[in-house]
Amino acid sequence: MARMNIYAIYSLWLREMIRFFRLKSRVFGSLAPPFFFLAFLGYGFRSAAMSEIPQEVNYISFLAPGIIGMTLLFSSTFGGLSMLWDREFGFLREIMVAPVSRISIVIGRTAGGVTTAVMQGLIILIPGIAMGLKISGLGGFLLSLVFMVLIATTFNSLGLAFASRMKDMSGFSLIMNFMVFPLFLLSGALFPISNLPVWLRSLSYIDPLTYGVDGLRGSLVGVSTFPLAFDLAVLAICCAGALGLGAYLFEISDVE
């Protein structure tokens, strides 16, 4: 069994942190769309009546957890682009020929991507509170952090899995766009999934983000479609499966 190298994991995590804070345009570009979604949709539909949303919950409180889930989804899946950049410029080859197990590389890169994604989710939480999001309490906020980590790990691992099998950055972006928008729209981030027709609702049930958004909504606002324990269990299983798939595909990938 390959041994994990803590120093290698920390070094790769730190590298992702440095890149995140240095590339201010990337931070702004990743946060601007979720903010505008939250502002325009939140204020635009706050007076709209949705019978599936409890009367004591305003639409911004319903929407904000979905937009946080959207931020985590987009930031995590497109984290695979950094791996393709590293392959393009030779950095990936250097770390893969180093005396470090590939599982250490996977964990380090995933930890860095998850940390930056969760940070962006927390940043989106701030304008949500300013616009009227009412958090249920400290316990709910801490539980929402668990859901954020699971969501980010799931989709960061999927991004890594796709990037491990691809070499073209434009192709990766097209495939990710093709994948993330249906995942986002089917998750119930913008409206209750009970509004969907039965055949679309069945697709929502196999979308991991559905349980992530529902868990965020339940922990932050106190309103959820499924029990929080069920959301947590399903998302944890999806997270473990995605992490295992990403690690396996990276393990067998070749660097030219």
pLDDT tens-digit map of 68-105: 999 999 888 877 777 777 766 666 667 766 677 778 88
What gap in Å lies between CA 10 and CA 95, rounded to an integer? Answer: 13
Q: Are 41 and 184 contacting, i.e. CB atoms less than 8 angstroms apart?
A: no
The dihedral formed by the CA atoms of 126, 132, 133 and 136, expressed in degrees to the nearest 10: 120
DSSP-assigned letter for residue 188: T
pLDDT tier at 255, thresholds 50, 70, 90: low
Please give the pLDDT value at position 151. Answer: 95
End-to-end CA distance of the chain: 25
pTM: 0.88
Q: What is the 3-state secondary structure of 135-149? A: CCCHHHHHHHHHHHH
Tokens of 193: 């999934």
Dihedral over Cα of 172, 248, 109, 256: its sign: negative
pLDDT tier at 153, thresholds 50, 70, 90: very high
- Whole-number Cα distances in Å, 76 to 80, 152, 201: 8, 6, 24
pLDDT tens-digit map of 33-70: 788 878 887 777 766 666 667 777 788 888 889 999 99
What value, to the nearest 5°, has the Cα angle with vertex 34 and ends 225 and 121? 70
Range 108-133 burial, b when 16+ CB lie within 10 A, else e? bbbbbbbbbbbbbbebbbebbeebeb
